[in-house]
């Protein structure tokens, strides 16, 4: 009796194409460099066998960012949007006015770029991540069916104060500047903020930048989520309170992915606990101590935590067709911390 032939082995499943993320940094090295770091983490920190590629988009070239661009992994490409004219702006226009005008006028270029990436990327574009200043671009990503997430390089209290501005604008007198508010601004889970502590572009309602900033705050609410440079140990109550508001549908969800820090230098790690990180040396250091009345708990400083660096591994999940929170349609980008380990001083 002849033995039956074994069935042929199944063909290996084709490799799943890498999910592609597009990140948009507002003009200025202070916006470009943090976004470059996020791009690096997106493609290098992942789990469950997922792979990612990214395109970092900027509005113009900045020499300060060249080193970071050169250090980016090969899976991060870069693109520069065409320059837009600003000749019609007054010579004394604020820098924020110029930045926001560039962003609004560049929207057609952003649309063209996203369309080309949608056509070229094997898996399409899984997520679009502008920073806070570029929130207008969320209209374009929504138009193209790409989930959009705001990246806030500051903390959640700062992000919450920005998106609260439209409500504050409606409920306070038009002739009253925020710096003159008699009562502090109270946000759930956050420390009370004096009106004068709100961002400077919000402090003069007669300045052309003010309506632009209010519009910016409204555009932020188009996001499917906020990726925030914060962590639970720093803003536990603020994060918990914001999550409650998000679950009720008041705001998009916030993902705490911080802190974004560089590993401390050997010199800094060798310093005794209690010495400030700035260059306060010798006579200047003594004057600093005298003004503060000492260092450490006795001088009003918090108890040293016993460590110098906070290594954090980010886990990025982009699941096409996954469970979406908010208005995500084509997929979900949920950036969260998978590990928050604190190393002891070396």
Q: Give the whole-angstrom CA distance, residue 97 versus residue 216.
A: 12
126 φ, ψ (degrees, to nearest 5): -80, -30
Which residues of the chain are modeled with pLDDT < 50?
11-13, 61-63, 265-267, 274-346
> 23, 35 in Cβ contact below 8 A?
yes
Query: How many Cβ atoms sit within 10 Å of the Cβ of residue 183?
Result: 8
Helix (H) or strand (E) holding 111: helix 107-120
Whether 256 and 228 share a structural domain: yes
- Cis omega (within 30 of 0) for bond into 107: no
Nearest to 187 by CA among 214, 210, 165: 165
Whether 275 and 325 share a structural domain: no
Whether 318 and 252 share a structural domain: yes
> 104, 110 in Cβ contact below 8 A?
no
Residue 1 domain-assigned (yes or no): no
> 68, 36 in Cβ contact below 8 A?
yes
Query: How many Cβ atoms sit within 10 Å of the Cβ of residue 100?
Result: 24
Q: Give the whole-angstrom CA distance, residue 126 versus residue 243.
A: 24
Whether 273 and 336 share a structural domain: no
Q: What is the pLDDT of residue 121?
A: 79
Per-residue pLDDT tens over the stretch 288-340: 444 434 333 333 334 333 333 222 323 333 333 333 333 332 222 333 333 33
Whether 28 and 117 share a structural domain: yes
User: How many residues in the chain?
Assistant: 346
The alpha carbon of residue 239 and the mean position of all alpha carbons in its chain are separated, in whole angstroms, by 15
Expressed as residue numbers, the domain containing 180 is 19-261+310-340
Helix (H) or strand (E) holding 61: none
Q: What is the pLDDT of residue 147?
A: 96
- Number of domains into which the chain is organized: 2
C-alpha dihedral, 190 to 194 to 195 to 200, nearest 10° = -90
The secondary structure of the chain in percent helix, strand, coil, rounded to multiples of 5, reads 40, 15, 45
> 335, 151 in Cβ contact below 8 A?
no
For the question of residue 31 being annotated catalytic, the response is: yes
* Distances in whole angstroms, Cα of residue 149 to Cα of each of 33, 138, 221, 292, 327: 18, 8, 10, 41, 11
Whether 281 and 256 share a structural domain: no
Q: Give the whole-angstrom CA distance, residue 132 versus residue 130.
A: 7
Whether 272 and 248 share a structural domain: no
The answer, as to whether pTM is greater than 0.85, is no
Q: Give the whole-angstrom CA distance, residue 330 versus residue 97.
A: 33
- Of 20, 31, 46, 160, the active-site residue reads 31
Half-sphere exposure of 283 (CA within 13 A, CB side): 0
44: Cβ contacts below 8 Å, ≥ 6 apart = 73
Whether 143 and 169 share a structural domain: yes
- Of 20, 46, 131, 224, the active-site residue reads 131
**E-strand stretches of the chain:** 19-24, 52-58, 76-80, 127-130, 149-152, 225-228, 254-256, 312-319, 332-340
Q: Give the whole-angstrom CA distance, residue 204 versus residue 113.
A: 35
For the question of residue 288 being annotated catalytic, the response is: no
**E-strand stretches of 81-201:** 127-130, 149-152
Q: What is the pLDDT of residue 220?
A: 98
* Distances in whole angstroms, Cα of residue 339 to Cα of each of 36, 47, 272, 293, 312: 21, 12, 27, 37, 6
Say which CATH number the domain at 112 has.
Answer: 3.40.50.2000
Q: What is the pLDDT of residue 71?
A: 82
Residue 12 domain-assigned (yes or no): no
Whether 158 and 280 share a structural domain: no
297 φ, ψ (degrees, to nearest 5): -55, -35
> 43, 75 in Cβ contact below 8 A?
yes
Q: What is the pLDDT of residue 195?
A: 93
Residue 91 domain-assigned (yes or no): yes
Whether 214 and 277 share a structural domain: no
Quick check: helix, strand or coil at residue 264?
A: coil
């Amino acid at each position: 009796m002849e033995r039956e032939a074994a069935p042929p082995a199944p063909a290996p499943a084709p490799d799943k194409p890498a999910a592609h993320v597009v990140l948009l940094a507002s003009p200025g090295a202070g916006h470009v460099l943090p976004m470059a770091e996020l791009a690096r983490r997106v493609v290098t920190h992942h789990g469950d066998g997922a792979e990612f590629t990214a395109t970092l988009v900027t509005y113009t070239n900045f020499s300060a960012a060249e080193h970071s661009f050169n250090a980016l992994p090969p899976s991060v490409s870069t693109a520069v949007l065409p320059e837009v004219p600003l000749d019609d702006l007054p010579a004394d226009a604020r820098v924020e006015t110029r930045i926001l005008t560039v962003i609004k006028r560049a929207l057609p270029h952003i649309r063209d770029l996203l369309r080309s990436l949608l056509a070229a990327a094997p898996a399409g574009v899984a997520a679009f991540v502008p920073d806070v200043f570029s929130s207008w671009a969320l209209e374009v990503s929504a138009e193209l069916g790409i989930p959009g997430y705001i990246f806030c390089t500051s903390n959640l209290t700062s992000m919450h104060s920005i998106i609260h501005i439209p409500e504050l604008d409606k409920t306070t007198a038009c002739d009253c500047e925020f710096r003159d508010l008699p009562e502090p601004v109270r946000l759930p889970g956050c420390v009370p903020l004096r009106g004068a502590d709100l961002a400077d572009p919000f402090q003069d309602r007669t300045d052309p930048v003010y309506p632009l900033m209010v519009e910016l705050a409204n555009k932020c609410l188009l996001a499917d989520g906020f990726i925030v440079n914060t962590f639970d140990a720093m803003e536990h109550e603020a994060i918990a309170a914001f999550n409650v508001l998000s679950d009720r549908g008041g705001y998009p969800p916030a993902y705490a992915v911080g802190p974004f820090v560089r590993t401390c230098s050997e010199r800094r790690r060798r310093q005794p606990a209690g010495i400030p990180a700035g260059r306060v040396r010798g006579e200047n250091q003594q004057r600093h101590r005298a003004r503060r009345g000492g260092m450490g708990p006795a001088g009003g400083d918090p108890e040293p935590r016993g460590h110098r660096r906070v290594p954090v591994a980010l886990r990025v999940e982009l699941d096409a067709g996954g469970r979406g929170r908010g208005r995500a349609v084509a997929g979900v980008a949920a950036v969260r911390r998978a590990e928050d380990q604190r190393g002891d001083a070396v």
